[in-house]
Amino acid sequence: MESVKLTWVHDGSDRRRESAVTYSPAAAEDYKQYMEARDGVSDVQIVPAQP
């Protein structure tokens, strides 16, 4: 099963943050929408998790 993580940027920061947990691709889509709705969060991406 493929695992993915989310990455995002907090406004005012020049570093990307990465989720501490991995998700299935389907679940990641739901969490991506949740993150995009948060204040101060931008550029949410779904990326492959490294083994």
1-30 pLDDT, tens digit per residue, is 789 999 999 998 989 999 999 999 999 999
User: How many of the other CB atoms lie within 10 Å of CB of 28?
Assistant: 23
Q: What is the pLDDT of residue 43?
A: 96
The pLDDT assigned to 14 comes to 87
Phi-psi region for residue 40, left (φ > 0), alpha (ψ -120 to 50) or beta? left
pLDDT of residue 50 exceeding 90: no
Model confidence, pTM:
0.86
51 band by pLDDT with thresholds 50, 70 and 90: confident
| pLDDT over threshold 80, residue 44 | yes
